Structure 1
Amino acid sequence: MQEENKEHREEKDSGRYFKIKKFPLIMGGFLLIFLTAGITTVALTFGDEKVQSIAPSQYPQFEKLYSTYDTIKKEYYQEVDDEKLVNGAIAGMLEGLEDPYSTYMDQEEAKSFNESISSSFEGIGAEIQEQDGKIMVVSPIKGSPAEKAGVKPNDIITSVDGKSIEGLSSTEAVLKIRGEKGTKVELTISREGEAKPVSITIVRDTIPVETVYSEMLDDGIAKIAVTSFSEHTVDELNTALDEMSKKDMKGLILDLRGNPGGLLPEAIKMASIFVPKGEIVLQIEDRNGNKEIHKSENNGEFKLPVVVLIDDGSASASEIVAAAVSESANIPLIGVKSFGKGTVQNAQDFKDGSNFKFTSYKWLTPEGNWIHKKGIKPDIEVKLPDYASLPYISPDEALKVSDASAEVKAAENMLKELGYNPGTVDTVFDEQTKAAVEKFQQDHKLKVTGILEDKTTVTLMQELRDKILKNDTQVKRAVKELKKEMK
């Protein structure tokens, strides 16, 4: 790992040299450290002349590879593209690791990946990862089209625009999901607890990488939500803290729910605001058990009571912060168990713009705990209301009298929670359900049809979302705990 007070350093690795850029990151639920090759990595550019100069006696394990390449070049029934063969060989080598976080990205995929850490990009706004051959949502970005459409952490995306994406890498899936602002993409999602897949149509938009949102609650309690860790996140947080201080902040709720990760230096700097100077923030462990310890850079600037909110969409960098403040600063965690991502990947760029990432380390909490696939359990477990987990209903689908489906049941549950009586909550759209829809349409100045579709569906889901925000049980418990400390 790089030293924080240097721009970069040279690191020797099996005869290969790399410059480590000073922006390691945890993205999409995994930690990355970008590497730029100072010299071509000979063992990975087979197909290049340098590879041909490697003596088989020195690398006998490559004999089968060379033999296969030569046979295909000479005897395959049609001309082959050398670049495709090389790319496929690299991808295959990484697939052989049987690690979903070790993948090869061609130029287009690498470009898309790099765009995802820029100031903005166009897409739906959701972090995804490949897990056991399936594409899983880590977390939708706050305020994104994905979040507004009802995409949730742990959703499994099975198809994009009617085409299966099973077996694709996360980068391949991103290329299919991402697109120009204003265009639509249809996702088919498998969700735990749902009997059949859910179809969600999302209009892509520009996704700004704005990461900190603050508001002052009652009694001098500030709530600051951090949605990811980008280059200026800690600066944004410090600005928010200053603004809240001017409003006489007496306590802080740091909301890391739905935060899928980001830049490692930002996570360390953020944790350092709350962890006493010299205390451990995290540990990095290599394959031989050697550990590198990162300690707080705290200057003692924050002294008010703090609680931290986490959920199943809190991953990687947000888990590092949560574990650090919990174990090294005794700050309570409230919510539900976090995602659980505890491995570290290095991403190396090739000269042609492609790259690959591979798992190289574990990260451990200050006390040496490995949270991978386990997550972090909150000190105080608080779940959101059941209606916060109601499934998405597609506005493109018209629900009307005599229809029977899981979507009808979800709609009836929504209507009931918003104070409209749909009768018995079941899967059947009957006359009483129609009457409830008509009343909802009338109250919201929508065209009264008794049919749930288009603007009616969108408004219904937005109203429910607003109710979830107003009745946030996790925030309410955080306020209660803070008041104990503020007395």
Structure 2
Amino acid sequence: MLKKQTVVLLLILAIVGSSALTLFVSKDHSFATSPGAGILASGGSNGLKQEEAKKLGTALDLIEGNYYQDVDRTKLVDGAINGMMQSLEDPYSSYMGKQTAKEFEESIEGSFSGIGAEVSSDNGNVMVVSPIKGSPAEKAGIRAKDIILSVNGQSLQGLELNEAVAKIRGPKGSEAKVSVKRTGTASPIEFVIVRDDVDLETVKAHMEPGKIGVIEITQFSLNTGERFKSELTKLEQQDMKGLVIDVRNNPGGVLSVVIDIADQFVPQGKVIVQVEDKDKKRDKNVSKGKGKSYPVTLLMNKGSASASEILAGALQQSAGAKLMGENSFGKGTVQTSFEKQLGDGSLLKITIAKWLTPNGSWIHKKGIKPDIAVSQPDYFSVAPINKKVSLQYNTNNSDVKNAQIMLDGLGFKPGRKDGFFDQKTTTAVKEFQSSEKLKVTGIIDAKTAESLESALIKAIRDPKRDNQMKSGIEEVRKEIAASASNK
């Protein structure tokens, strides 16, 4: 029996299916810093050569005339375009049909249906780039680098990305049984996910004691820049002394938006980001802002991708901010979409350039290292327990290890976290069962496992358990104190 997650996972995947929000150049924004130097191309000018058009047309005619069943001509043409995109071997370049393209545009605007995560195609696998901070996907335990193996028993391996996403989609309220492969776990992890719609608020802010502001950015949508500026102004009007910016599990977004946000912190004349095209020509975006007098710390993790990494690099190298948390994802390319040229509502999303940090580093597939490394407790990333088999005294496997990590994180001390179910683990299970008013057996059956996971999710949501956030706030507090002592 698969576990129904205690939080609803939202799986229609507009942001996810298009793998679009890593770093997107909006259609009305040219990156150029000088007249005529735009990095954003408008498309090719020659199209197919006569012999190429003849070859493709002949292939189409041969298929239609000789295939043993009737064929869908539109499907064949779309398949040819998909084939071209796949031949690029670039997980961030893709073709989208009319409906997928519509959902993609909605996701760029900040309102979409999905789990609150992004996926890309990686060697024939559907890989999670990042669950968005605070999203149902993150709360349920979906992690960056997870591989989605199957949905409702249908394998996704080897499928074109949009085809794979189509199998994940479904009517609101329906369930999807999702199997996930995670590095470090021997067996696939299974979830039962309830599909639904989600409306994303990309910016959240609050003030901590000591006048330390905190702003979380879950992705860089078209409205994120205005929301960020508004929340920052409110905090500054409350006499804010320092700021923590949280881009953990932020998969990226619109290039112009992250530039506008960085511009508020990077002093005038300093570089925010560089973009290099296929001809090795670089455009530098230089700040027009004045910078800030208060200390700034940025929190990131392995789910912080692309536009989040641009912000991290700009603040670290050009604004003197501290980066804290974990190494970032490592996505250093820029995409844009072309839909008017195709004329039927479909679009091509194409990687047009790579971006570099102010000092010229290309972080692709490497990420950015934090100035101060801070990990979360081990129970933040523990895998769910397999509910098909009960765990009891003398059992020794990875599910017992996961249960021990959960028990320890919740304050019930099993005495070990190596996967061997000993007498002390039995006692810890009994104590947990008693606290949850479950039948006290010392055996982890499906009901006890579900209760364990439910209690853990609630614990993880407690800000007091967030080591990275606490460390970020403390670092800002130290810098405020140091600045005051130097005056």
Q: Contact between 1:107 and 1:353, CA under 8 Å: does it hold in 2? A: yes
Do the aligned partners of 2:323 and 2:372 also contact (CA within 8 Å) in 1? yes
When structure 1 is superposed on structure 2, of 116-125 and 371-380 the one drifting more is 116-125
**2:325 aligned partner:** 335
Question: Residue 124 of structure 1 contacts residue 178 of structure 1 at CA under 8 Å; is this kept in 2?
Answer: no
Rounded Cα–Cα distance in structure 2 between residues aligned with 1:307 and 1:459: 32
RMSD: 2.9
Equivalent residues of 1:149, 1:392 under 8 A apart: no
- State whether residues 331 and 363 of structure 2, in contact with CA within 8 Å, keep that contact through their aligned partners in structure 1: yes
The worse-fitting range, judged by mean Cα deviation, of 323-332 and 198-207 is 198-207
Q: Which residue of 2 aligns with 1:437?
A: 429
For 2:316, the equivalent position in structure 1 comes to 326
What does residue 212 of structure 2 align with? 221
Give the corresponding residue for 2:403.
Answer: 411
Match of 1:289 among 257, 261, 280: 280
| SS of residue in 1 equivalent to 2:108 | coil
Query: For residues 424-464 of structure 1, what are the alpha-carbon distances to aligned partners after superposition, in whole Å with 9 as ceiling and x for unaligned?
Result: 54545566545433422432455666545355134232244
Structure 1 match to 2:12: none
User: Are 1:168 and 2:156 matched, yes or no?
Assistant: no
Q: Which residue of the partner structure matches residue 37 of structure 2? A: none
Q: Are the counterparts in 1 of residues 92 and 335 from structure 2 also a CA contact under 8 Å?
A: yes
Matched, 1:91 2:45: no
Q: TM-score, normalised by structure 1?
A: 0.83
- Count of aligned pairs: 446
Tell me what 2:241 maps to: 250
Q: 1:286 to 1:26 in 2, by over 3 A?
A: farther
Do 1:125 and 1:141's aligned partners in 2 also have CA atoms closer than 8 Å? yes
Distance 1:207-1:141 versus aligned 2 partners, 3 A rule: farther
- 1:333, distance to aligned residue in structure 2 (A): 1.1
Q: Compute the displacement of 1:210 (Å).
A: 0.5
| Pair 1:222–1:132, CA change in 2 (3 A) | same
Q: Which residue of 2 is the match for residue 263 of structure 1? A: 254
Amino acid of the residue matched to residue 92 of structure 2?
A: Y
CA contact (8 A) 2:19 2:92 kept: no
Q: Select 1:470's aligned residue among 438, 456, 464.
A: 464
**1:305 lines up with 2:305 in the alignment:** no
Per the TM alignment, residue 314 of structure 1 is displaced from its structure 2 partner at its CA by 0.6
- Contact 1:275–1:325 (CA under 8 A) maintained in structure 2: yes
CA apart distance, 1:261: 0.7
Q: CA contact under 8 A between 2:378 and 2:405: conserved in structure 1?
A: no
Distance across 1 between alignment mates of 2:85 and 2:103 = 20
8 Å contact kept, 2:272–2:314:
yes
TM-score after normalising by structure 2:
0.83
Flag the 1:205–1:419 CA change in 2: closer, same or farther, 3 A: same
| SS in structure 1 at match of 2:304 | coil
Q: Secondary structure at the match of 2:112?
A: strand
- Are 1:184 and 2:169 matched, yes or no? no
Q: Where does the alignment leave 5 or more consecutive residues of structure 2 unmatched?
A: 1-17, 30-41, 482-487
Kindly state the Cα deviation for residue 41 of structure 1 after the two structures are TM-superposed. Answer: 8.1
Q: 1:105 aligns with which of 96, 100, 103?
A: 96
Secondary structure (helix, strand or coil) at the match of 2:362 reads coil
Partner of 2:6: none
Partner residue of 2:140? 149
Q: Does the 8 Å CA contact 1:122/1:181 hold for their aligned counterparts?
A: no
CA separation in 2, counterparts of 1:124 and 1:431? 40
CA distance 1:319–1:119, change in 2 (3 Å): closer
Q: CA deviation at 1:400?
A: 4.4
Secondary structure (helix, strand or coil) at the match of 2:74 reads helix
Change over 3 Å in CA distance of 1:163–1:404 after alignment to 2 = farther
Rounded to whole Å, the distance in 2 between the matches of 1:425 and 1:276 is 49
Task: Select which of 292, 297, 305 maps to 1:315.
Answer: 305
Residue identity opposite 1:335 in structure 2: G
Q: How does 1:107-146 map to 2 (within 5 A)?
A: 107-146=98-137
Change (3 A) 1:163 1:301: same
Evaluate the alpha carbon distance shift between residue 180 and residue 243 of structure 1 in structure 2; reply closer, same or farther with a 3 A threshold. farther
Pair 257,239 (structure 1): closer, same or farther in 2 beyond 3 Å: same
> 1:281, CA displacement in angstroms?
1.3
For residue 344 of structure 2, the aligned residue among 343, 352, 361 is 352
1:277 aligns with 2:268: yes
Deviations 1:83-111 (CA, angstroms, capped at 9, x unpaired): 11211111112222222222211223223
Query: Aligned equivalents of 1:172 and 1:223: distance in 2?
Result: 39
Q: Determine if contact 1:144/1:207 at 8 Å carries over to the other structure.
A: no
Distance in 2 between the 1:138 and 1:40 partners? 28
Q: Which residue number corresponds to residue 356 of structure 2?
A: 364
> 1:205 aligns to what SS in structure 2?
coil
User: By how many angstroms is 1:165 displaced?
Assistant: 0.6
1:29 matched to which residue of 2? 22
Higher strand share: 1
Match of 2:369 among 364, 374, 377: 377
- Residue 455 of structure 2 corresponds to 460
**What is the deviation of 1:188?**
1.2
The amino acid of 1:323's aligned partner reads: G
Find the residue that maps to 1:210 and give its secondary structure: coil
> Could you say which residue in structure 1 is the equivalent of 2:11?
none
Match for residue 482 of structure 1 among 476, 480, 483: 476
2: distance between equivalents of 1:459 and 1:448? 18
Deviations 1:286-341 (A, max 9, x none): 1111122222232x373311111111111111111111111111212112211111
Q: Check 1:172–1:74 CA distance in 2 against 1; reply closer, same or farther (3 A cut).
A: closer
Which runs of 5 or more structure 1 residues have no equivalent in the other structure? 1-24, 45-53
Range that drifts further, 425-434 or 358-367: 425-434
Compare relative contact order (CA 8 Å, sep 6+) and give the higher one, 1 or 2: 2
Distance 1:184 1:408, change over 3 A: farther
1:36-66 deviation digits (Å, cap 9, x = unpaired): 9xx998977xxxxxxxxx7xxx533444323
Q: CA deviation at 1:216?
A: 2.1
Deviation of residue 475 (structure 1)? 2.5
Deviation, 1:113, is 2.5
Mapped partners of 1:40, 1:373: distance in 2: 27
1:66 aligns with 2:62: no
